[in-house]
Structures are given as structure tokens and as C-alpha cells.
Amino acid sequence: MRGKGVILKIYDGVSASSGIAIGHALPIHGFGLNVPRIKVDDDELENEILLFKKAVEETKEELENVKTKIKNDIGVEESAIFDAHIMLLDDPNLIEKTIERARNENVSIDYSFSETISNLVEKFRDLSDDYLKDRANDIQDVGKRVLRNYLGVSISPELSKTSKDIIVLAHNLLPSDMAEISEKEIKGIITEVGGETSHVAIMARSMEVPAVVGVSDILSNVSPNDLVIIDANNGKIFIEPDKETIKEYQEKRRKYVEYVKSLERIRNEEAVTRDGKKIKLDINMELANEADMVNSHKADGIGLFRTEYLFMREILPSEDEQFEIYKYIAQMIYPKEVVIRTADLGGDKFVSHFKIPEEMNPFLGFRGIRLSLEFEEFFKTQLKAILRASTLKNIKIMFPMISGIDEFLEAKDIVEEAKNELRDSGVEFDENIDIGIMVEIPSAALVSDVLAKHADFFSIGTNDLIQYTLAVDRGNKQLSYLYDPLHPSILRLLKMIINNAHNEGIEVSMCGNMAGNPNFTILLIGLNLSILSVAPSNILEIKKIIRELSYEECKKIVDESMKYNDVKSIKDYYDSVNSEKLKNVLFDYFEKE
């Protein structure tokens, strides 16, 4: 409670896991990767190398135990995070580079390892893709775990002090911290860095703990045991609130708990509008172990399996290794379907495996299907692995970054070559496997009538479609106001793509961020989209909205919005529509009343 003269502090951040929490502050400062540069002689170094290898093996065993515990206590999706950690330690290059550096420079093994990890972390943090940028935390976490085991110290000793009414504040929390936090009954989480795709966000959502990330400089302005309110629905933090604010948020918290219960009641229900239109709700995923989420979240299938994660290592996966992963996913969700997108590498995503000249603008260079077509054997290896895994006939193939019909037909020709090679070897596969396109480049949208004659399905990737149409880097904060899904050009392109797909009788889905944003659900239903592929955590809320809507009403709303020619008018219109239609459905709307 505030003392005399203490001023209420309010901070803004990014909502990572919704909810409202009231508790006392526990600032965490953690254990860093900074290790002093120390010279060692050869004999001492060889002894250090033995201890280092032992620490690596201890860390692997520790990670397996953490993975099992998280899987049992929280879920498969969250435990899969630690697969990437184990995979990193299984990479012989990481260990060999560390030892080689230590020997060449006559420095301690812990210094060499910390430098190797730090360099790798910086490479990831320089990427523009938010998901990949957040994977720097995976690498940092592995580094801290190995160093902790090597040096015999604790990562975050403050966590041992937690009690039931605690709100944890930190500059950043790594997966290992989150694993330890999962054992405590904390009220909420606040970090100074991170985004919606960070592991803090993913695990906090699964733990059902309110979390706000990206709250700048909060650690320097909070003291242990300060009273803290987290409004994670709106990204607000209150430090030392007054009695009126506490009372207000206690009531908001009560309402939110009731809202969450209303979502759980429809978990096993179908996503069907009031006038009978069925909407298929799929999930997006990156790791094979996340496949179980299809069943746990009552999803209809996997609308997008991003395969880039398989190639985020020094040695490319073999055809057999890829085959086992794709087969596992198909078996796990059978008879539901999975759409496997071929590797969308390039841009800023791991092209060190390929000899590509330095590009002035890599996002407009060798990326997605362009890179695959240039490196045909790499592409064919992935295609053959997917085809071999398709015997259950529940796998579809999708190509990223298609700009026109020539690329698509060339890619399909390589699929036929892969099929012929498998036939010659007597290998079974789905002869009629569907092949589709990620429509995410304006040129593809503009010729979608032509593409629809040759594709088995479309999936709209709104993240890049918006970025390329509006010529706005979605990661540029100074230009973020221009990155708007409701720009009239975007609405017209969406309508064109969907209509052209339906005219040729093929399915069209959406797997970009728009699909999982409740503010756009009315628009997407009205545009006649019948498949939405979203993050697992979005499924219940989107389903609740769909079940309260009428398709015919949504269609009329979209027709009306198409009459406006400027962004402000369209946004004002949909704000008004959402406030009216969702006020008794979505917490963000009815809690404002």
C-alpha cells in the first residue's frame, strides 16, 4: 500500500498472457553470461575441457528432466521448447568451436564457451523476424545452464524466495526460469524485454499466469514487496496503487475469471455461426512435439507447419530425419490434416548453408521458393521426405513466397521428379497429395485467378502480404502506424484472393496474425473465409466469437466497409461494429462498460 508522498506509477507494455493480477513485487536480476578472460596453460585447459564436457552431459540430462516435468505439469507445446535446447547441445560444432577457441587463444573453457554463445545470441538478435529473434533466448538459456553446471552456481537464486502473492519482475526470463516459476504459485510476470512470440509469453499463457513484457526500465523503479497490479488485457502495470485502483481491479479480476470459465464451456463445441456456417479452426506450429496440441486444444488440424526450425543448425537434416518428423506429425493428428510449408529460408533466416552473394535487400532476394528452386537438391530432399510421410493421406504441401505462375509450375515439376524417383525405388506415397500456395506477395494476389486453376488450395499469409503491399517493414516502430490490416488495398486484395479461389472450387485459409486477432473475425467471416489457422491460445476466443455471429450479417458488414476509401473511416466503422457485436462476447469489450 502506498505511503504518504508515494506517487502511483503506471507503465505500458505488451500483453503476453491475458488476465489481471494483484501481488507484491519480487525483482529478479539473474545470472549472466559474462565470464572474465583468463589465460590457462595446456594441462589446466585439458582438465577444464573434461569438466566442460561433463557439464554439457549434465545439462542434457537436466533438460530431459525439465522437459518431462513441463510436459506433465503444463503441456506438450511448452515442453517442446526444450527440444531445441537439447538439439543445440547435440550439435558437435558448438562444442568443437568452444574447445578450438580455448586451445588457439589459451583461454579458459568457460570464457571460450561464453563468447561462442554470446556471438550466436547476437546473430539471432540481429534478425528481423520476431519469432527467430526470440530464439536468441533459447541459446542464452542453454549457455547459462552449461555454465551454471560447470561453475556450480544458481541461475536465479531469487526464485527460491517466491510465495503465493508474488509478481515476478525481471529484465528477461529464460525458459529455465519459467520452468522453475511453473513450480511456484506466483500471481504474475513482468519483463523489460520480449514480445508475443517469446517463451515467456508462450509458457505464461499455458500456465494461465498474467504477463506483460516489453516494460522499459521497470526494474529500476520498483522495490521488493511493492504492491503491483498487472492488467495484462491492456498491457498496463500499476506500482503502489491507491485504494480506489485496487478496488477497481479486484472487480475486473472477478469478471475476467467468469469470462475464462465461459470460454472453457465451449472447448468441445464446434465453431459454427448462428446461421450454420462451419468455420474450421486449425493451428500454426513450428516443432513436431507441438502436434499433440491439435487434440488438447480441440483444433481441426494443422493449417501451417513451419519447417524452418529444422534447418536452424550447422548440419542440414537428412531426408530420413525429415521423414521421421513429418511422419510423426501425420500419425499424431490422424485423420486430421497437416499443411507442411516447404522451408521459407532466406531474408534473415539461416542461409549460411547456401552460397549466396551478399544482398542489398535480402527480403527481396533469395527467399522462400526462390531459394528452394535455386538449390534444387536441397528442395527435392525435403519434398521426398514429405511425400514418404504422406501414406496416411493427411498431408498437404505448401510453397512460400510464390510470386506468379512460372515459379509455381516449376516447383510442381520438381515435385513430379521427386515422385518419379520414389516410384523407381518402390517407395509408397500419396499419389494425389494436394499442393498449394502461400499467397503473401501482391503479385500472387493479383494473378490469383490464374494460380487458382493450378493449385489445390490457397493459404493467405497476411504478415508479409501487408508488409509488401504497403512497403512497410513491420518491425520498424517509426512506421508501425502505416502497417494496417484495414488499409483499403488489403481488404480489396483479400476479397480478390478469396473470390478467385472459390470461383475455381479450391479451399482458401488464412494463417497470418489477422486470423487469430478477435478484432478481425467479423471481417474474415464476412469475406467468406471458412478456415482460420491460429496460435493454439487463440482458438477458444475465436470460437466463442464465431458462435455468436451470423455469416449473413458479417457479409453485409464487409460489403458496407468496402464503400470506404480511407483507413480511418474503415477503422472507425469496424470499431463501432465490434463494440456492438462483441460487447457481450469478448472481455475486452464488455469490461469497458
- List residues bridging with 168 in a β-sheet: 26, 189
Alpha helix segments (H runs only) across 13-135: 42-73, 76-79, 81-89, 92-105, 109-125, 130-134
- List residues bridging with 305 in a β-sheet: 285, 340
Give residue 565's identity as a one-letter amino acid code.
N
Contact yes or no for 542/266 (Cβ under 8 A): no
State the catalytic residue, choosing from 199, 297, 487, 554.
Answer: 199
- List residues bridging with 519 in a β-sheet: none
* DSSP-derived secondary structure for 532-571: EEE-GGGHHHHHHHHHH--HHHHHHHHHHHTT--SHHHHH
Active-site annotation holds for 199 = yes
- List residues bridging with 213 in a β-sheet: 14
Annotated binding site for phosphoenolpyruvate: 306, 341, 463-464, 474
E-only strand ranges, 409-511: 435-439, 457-460, 507-510
- List residues bridging with 20 in a β-sheet: 231
Q: Which residues of 251-267 are buried (b: 16+ CB within 10 A; e: fewer)?
A: ebbeebeebeeeeeeee
State the catalytic residue, choosing from 297, 487, 511, 554.
Answer: 511
**Neighbouring C-beta atoms of residue 539, cutoff 10 Å:** 23
Active-site annotation holds for 554 = no
C-alpha cell at 568: 480511418
Which residues touch 530 (CB under 8 Å, ≥6 apart)? 277, 278, 279, 280, 507, 509
Q: Running DSSP on this structure, what letter comes out for residue 74? A: T
Annotated binding site: 306, 341, 440, 463-464, 474
**Neighbouring C-beta atoms of residue 280, cutoff 10 Å:** 18
Of 482, 434, 444, 448, residue with least CA distance to 465: 444
Q: Whole-angstrom distance between the N-terminal and C-terminal Cα of the chain? A: 27
Residue in the block written with cell 521458393: 369
Annotated binding site for Mg(2+): 440, 464
Distance of alpha carbon 94 from alpha carbon 91, whole angstroms: 6
Alpha helix segments (H runs only) across 405-461: 405-424, 442-446, 448-451
Residue in the block written with cell 530425419: 321
Of 67, 81, 108, 112, residue with least CA distance to 94: 112
| SS3 at position 281 | strand
Q: Could you list the active site residues?
A: 199, 511
